[in-house]
Amino acid sequence: VNSLSSFAKVNNSGFIETPYRRVDPDTGKVTDRIDYLTADEEDNYVVAQANARLGDDGAFLDEEVISRFRGENTVIKRERLDYMDVSPKQVVSAATACIPFLENDDSNRALMGANMQRQAVPLMNPESPIVGTGMEHVSAKDSGAAVICKYEGIVEKVEAKQVWVRRVKEIDGQEVKGDLDKYRMQKFIRSNQGTCYNQRPIVSEGDRVVKGEILADGPSMEKGELALGRNVMVGFMTWDGYNYEDAIIMSERLVKDDVYTSIHIEEYESESRDTKLGPEEITRDIPNVGEDALRNLDERGIIRIGAEVKDGDLLVGKVTPKGVTELTAEERLLHAIFGEKAREVRDTSLRVPHGGGGIILDVKVFNREDGDELPP
């Protein structure tokens, strides 16, 4: 997976640019002017490392500075420097920049760690890391998953699904109250990966907030910081051979207390179509299905919200017309008793697939008669 490095951007021509601090050619001091250069433009300049020692006035303290010229690292006199890197992080991606003490890690392990961070699923109760790199807040805020305050103001009301902020402006030394902004939270939405997308307010009534402040955490966030996991006690030791070959022994408490529990949302569909033998019907009246299996279906034959289902349980009761076939022994018996052929339908109900048990979160019904656009 290729990622842009930290601070990099793509210019109008489609080339990747990265920022550098300009060194004043007359004074030799590092200025606050930032220039974005492409890789071929950078070849024309001598670039000092971001951690080179500087004085309060921006002058290099060392006579010779570790620098880079045309991809080669070398030691160059400070008078010959043109630019300086803005940060040691700018050579790595945002994911790699979240690894503490990266410079002491083996390169293969750092690569594995960076890729594994991307694969983390959002936990029910995440914790931000105790030891961070400073990128956690930036990554969380720029992810687009948090709710960001648009105007300075005071929080008037907080609910699980929305937050109200009264705009406040200072005019001639006096506070003037303005419009009331409402920020909606997204609750328990299914992501494309099947994980749970949920936003939680982190502000309280009466809090003063500024523009750009985080009002609500998104998935894998805690108090406005990236939180991919939990801070648990880990022991590096042998334990009766149970952790042989990279095996891990885990406390039962981690399971009982839902320390690493994540919510996954799956979507299942059932369609009722017109067939050559007649229309399919969504119904509670399904042949050869006992009342116990129908207990969670409503009068329409659709599962109720909040029901707990296991593998093989009915989600939508549906029957499809059967062609004229030879009667089974059971149907012959019914025919002998009632003097008529049993209803010629077969059970095509939607059931929970293997390994798909859980709790029903929502049910949506679409119908052409209600004006919904459906495929033919």
CATH of 121-226, one of 2.40.50.100, 3.40.50.2000, 2.60.40.10, 1.20.1090.10: 2.40.50.100
User: Same CATH fold, 274-370 and 121-226?
Assistant: yes
29-64 pLDDT, tens digit each = 999 999 999 999 999 999 999 999 999 988 999 999
CA distance linking residue 21 with residue 281, whole number of Å: 70
What integer is the mean pLDDT of 321-345? Answer: 69
Q: State the CATH class of domain 9-91.
A: mainly beta
Task: Mean pLDDT check: name the lowest of 132-146, 194-208, 264-278.
Answer: 264-278
Burial class (CB in 10 A: 0-12, 13-18, 19+), 270: middle
CA distance linking residue 109 with residue 361, whole number of Å: 39
The pairing of strands 83-85 and 47-48 is parallel
Structure tokens at 164: 């109200």
Q: Are 147 and 161 in contact (CB under 8 A)?
A: no
CA distance linking residue 376 with residue 372, whole number of Å: 12
**In CATH, 274-370 is 3.30.565.10:** no
Q: Are 311 and 266 in contact (CB under 8 A)?
A: no
Is 342 a residue whose pLDDT tops 80?
no
Is 341 a residue whose pLDDT tops 60?
no
Check residue 285 and give its pLDDT. Answer: 86
266-290 pLDDT, tens digit each = 999 999 888 877 788 898 888 888 8
pLDDT band at 373 (very low <50, low <70, confident <90, very high): confident
- Domain-wise residue ranges, the chain: 9-91, 121-226, 274-370
What integer is the mean pLDDT of 167-175? Answer: 83
- The phi and psi torsions of 189 (rounded to 5 degrees) equal -95, 145
70-117 pLDDT, tens digit each = 989 999 998 899 999 999 999 999 999 999 999 999 999 999 999 999
* Threshold 0.85, pTM exceeds: no
CA distance linking residue 231 with residue 254, whole number of Å: 12
Is 334 a residue whose pLDDT tops 80?
no
Q: Give percent of the chain with pLDDT exceeding 70.
A: 97
